[in-house]
Amino acid sequence: MKKNNLIKILSVISVLALSVSISACNGDNENEDSEGSVSSFSEESTENEDTESSDTVSEIKKETSKSEEDTGPIPEIEDPTPDNYGETVNGVFVYNDVAYELFYGSEEMAEEYAHTISDIKTALGDKVRVYNVVAPTHVGVDLPDKFDDLCSSQETYLNKIVNSYTADVIGVNTYNKIVHHRNEYLYFNSDHHWTALGAYYAYRAFTNAAGIEPVELKNLNEDKIEGFIGSFATFSGLDTLKEDYVTYYTTDNDIDCTLYDEYGGNPQDYMLIHSYAEGSNSYGVFLGGDQPLVVTKNNKGNGKKIAVVKESYGNAFSPFIAYTYSEAHFIDFRYANINLKSYLEENGIDEVIFFNNAMASATEANLDSLRSLVGNE
């Protein structure tokens, strides 16, 4: 594996420059997360309860760790060019005309992220049920085994997060769900984000953990934006990456959507799905891109309210939550300037999903932004 070691040395240097560039251009600090042991529980009625006992959350966690929807064999990764060890171009690792961002998250980083979410849960109090969803990025799902020494294992990293909470956080580890579908179009070839299908499998991991009825893809309307040219194509300067397209899903239900500024003011009528997005901005079909605060109301939702505290991977995840919940508040923690506890109390919200990709969760600046939501920087 001498070739791999050489690639790794070069990649460690170049990927740092790439991450900074992506952050500057897209507002993203992607080091995001996944799904390892998915849980399922029957949610007990809490309408007349002021607090949630730790025993209840413990039982949820037990069910989460032992109930997995995907238990069959994981598809093998196809490797049509076994003698090809890829190349790093301007900080982008390219293999078979597909671009990846290499991942170097450590177990210490996983623990720090888990403790950050735990501290926020403690600050929010016993009345708020907190879910943490971390999505694996492309490099953690379908690179052949010969590249194992190029970067850290996201499976190990994500499992470490799930096992490191110090408060009653319900961890939704999406890794198991994702890898069981890894031969599908879950990630873009030319961009650091994932597809709506990848986000849907993470959504199914969440609904399984939360014990709620999911929206089925077959009951949604599917459409597609052709000709997506993503961030990796821009940074690598390559025009040989495999072609991408952006699939999105809509519902026939009436979804009321409002955009707010970073302080939660200046409400404006808005759209959940921006079907006019095109070219390099095609991923902006979801929520119109990175917005500080978007609120949706669904007249045929499940009667519940929820807040999703997220970065850009959560944009593709958000429509499925909007199609499920009667009221959903999508907060981009990188741009919102609110006190989360006060915001939840003022809006009568007692469920929160913290959503990050593995790369974002291993980025210190993102942890600082998360902490600032509860006044702990």
Summarised one tens digit per residue, pLDDT across range 27-48 is: 444 333 333 333 322 333 334 4
At 313-370, the pLDDT tens digits run 999 999 999 999 999 999 999 999 999 999 999 999 999 999 999 999 999 999 999 9
Check residue 16 and give its pLDDT: 41
Find the mean pLDDT for residues 303-322. Answer: 98
Q: Note whether residue 245 is domain-resident.
A: yes
pLDDT at 5 exceeding the cut of 70: no
Q: Note whether residue 52 is domain-resident.
A: yes
What is the span of the domain harbouring residue 135? 29-84+105-372
pLDDT at 64 exceeding the cut of 60: no
Check residue 57 and give its pLDDT: 56
Single pTM value for the model: 0.85
User: Predicted confidence band at 62 (pLDDT cuts at 50, 70, 90)?
Assistant: very low
Mean of the per-residue pLDDT values of the chain: 86
Calpha distance 187→247 (Å, rounded):
11
Check residue 35 and give its pLDDT: 34
Check residue 173 and give its pLDDT: 83
Check residue 72 and give its pLDDT: 84
pLDDT at 301 exceeding the cut of 80: yes
Q: Note whether residue 99 is domain-resident.
A: no
User: Predicted confidence band at 58 (pLDDT cuts at 50, 70, 90)?
Assistant: low
Q: Note whether residue 65 is domain-resident.
A: yes
Find the mean pLDDT for residues 99-127. Answer: 97
Q: Considering only CA atoms, which of 363, 287, 249 is closest in space to residue 16?
A: 363
pLDDT at 103 exceeding the cut of 60: yes
Which residues touch 370 (CB under 8 Å, ≥6 apart)? Answer: 116, 117, 120, 309, 333, 354
- Total domains present in the chain: 1
Find the mean pLDDT for residues 301-319. Answer: 98
Q: Note whether residue 80 is domain-resident.
A: yes
Determine how many CB atoms are found less than 10 A away from the CB of residue 246. 25
Please report, to the nearest 10 degrees, the dihedral formed by the alpha carbons of residues 312, 369, 306, 361 taken in order.
60
User: Predicted confidence band at 55 (pLDDT cuts at 50, 70, 90)?
Assistant: low
User: Predicted confidence band at 52 (pLDDT cuts at 50, 70, 90)?
Assistant: very low
Find the mean pLDDT for residues 130-145. Answer: 97
Q: Note whether residue 4 is domain-resident.
A: no
Q: Note whether residue 142 is domain-resident.
A: yes
Q: Note whether residue 2 is domain-resident.
A: no
Calpha distance 372→377 (Å, rounded):
5
pLDDT at 177 exceeding the cut of 80: yes
